[in-house]
């Protein structure tokens, strides 16, 4: 897991959903299987979600009972079994702006493709947001819910190379433009689809921005504060 100083989180979605998140603090966490099956041009969907490894035919061999299989088309993907912990894991994903991140050549921090997620961006202060998330998870534990929180920046790995240790916090580098920070909630004995984590209003630690207004420049001031310029 990366350890970086977080400047801000941003969540892009439809205005109604962003409004519910801001006013009521409803964090909508979809299943890993949902994201794996989603076909949306590599925005939210990722067919490699829930895999533990993938191997390319030109860089590996596949043998069954000692017999080598030839003419394999596409990568060999190893997925978690139906009883694995990943099957009970739900994700909430945000874009992260953090110290040391690489600025795009056009000077913008957000990739224009984020507009595919919706028409409204919510800028969120990371520290108080995470404090409320952790408090809500702890409250559910005290109420008897078997729940565990995993969190962190996603590590992006080369899609063209064999990968032996994929996880909920590792993705192929074709998604690197998303600069994703993930909350992964493992909820045992949850038989629904999405899991809703309610943390209360975050109106005091967030700001709504129309998606057409991207942050063009970030400047770290001498006193350690950060200046974000919109246009």
Q: Is residue 94 part of a domain?
A: yes
Q: Is residue 73 part of a domain?
A: yes
Q: Is residue 1 part of a domain?
A: no
CA distance 20 to 107: 31
Q: Is residue 34 part of a domain?
A: yes
Q: Is residue 92 part of a domain?
A: yes
Q: Is residue 43 part of a domain?
A: yes
132-137 own/partner pairs: CB under 8 Å, 24+ apart: 132/25, 132/199, 132/200, 132/202, 133/27, 133/183, 133/197, 133/199, 135/199, 136/197, 136/198, 136/199, 136/200, 137/185, 137/197
**What is the separation of C-alpha 29 from the centre of its chain, rounded to a whole number of angstroms?**
10
Range of the domain at 123: 6-230
| Residue-by-residue pLDDT tens, the chain, 231 positions | 445 677 889 999 998 889 999 999 999 999 988 898 889 888 899 988 888 888 877 777 777 777 777 777 777 788 776 555 556 789 999 998 877 777 667 666 778 888 889 989 999 999 999 999 999 999 999 999 999 999 999 999 988 888 878 888 999 999 999 999 999 999 988 877 899 999 999 999 999 887 766 555 555 444 555 555 554
Whole-model pTM over 0.95? no
Q: Is residue 45 part of a domain?
A: yes
Number of domains observed in the structure of the chain: 1
Q: Is residue 129 part of a domain?
A: yes
């Amino acid at each position: 897991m990366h350890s970086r100083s977080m400047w801000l989180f941003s969540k892009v979605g439809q205005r109604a959903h962003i409004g519910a998140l801001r006013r009521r603090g409803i964090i909508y966490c979809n299943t890993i299987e949902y994201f794996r099956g989603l076909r949306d041009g590599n925005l939210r969907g990722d067919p490699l979600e829930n895999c533990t490894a993938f191997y390319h035919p030109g860089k590996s061999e596949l043998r069954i009972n000692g017999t080598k299989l030839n003419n394999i088309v596409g990568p060999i993907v190893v997925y978690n079994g139906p009883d694995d912990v990943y099957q009970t894991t739900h994700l909430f994903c945000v874009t992260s702006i953090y110290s040391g991140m690489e600025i795009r050549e056009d000077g913008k921090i957000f990739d224009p493709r984020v507009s595919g997620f919706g028409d409204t961006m919510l800028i969120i202060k990371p520290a108080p947001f995470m404090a409320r998330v952790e408090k809500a998870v702890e409250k559910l534990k005290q109420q008897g819910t078997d729940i565990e929180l995993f969190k962190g920046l996603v590590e992006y790995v080369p899609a063209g190379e064999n990968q032996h240790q994929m996880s909920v916090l590792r993705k192929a580098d074709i998604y690197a433009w998303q600069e994703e920070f993930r909350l992964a909630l493992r909820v045992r004995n949850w038989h629904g689809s999405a899991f809703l984590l309610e943390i209360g209003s975050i109106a005091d630690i967030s700001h709504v921005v129309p998606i057409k207004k991207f942050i063009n420049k970030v400047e770290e001031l001498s006193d350690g504060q950060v200046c974000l310029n919109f246009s």
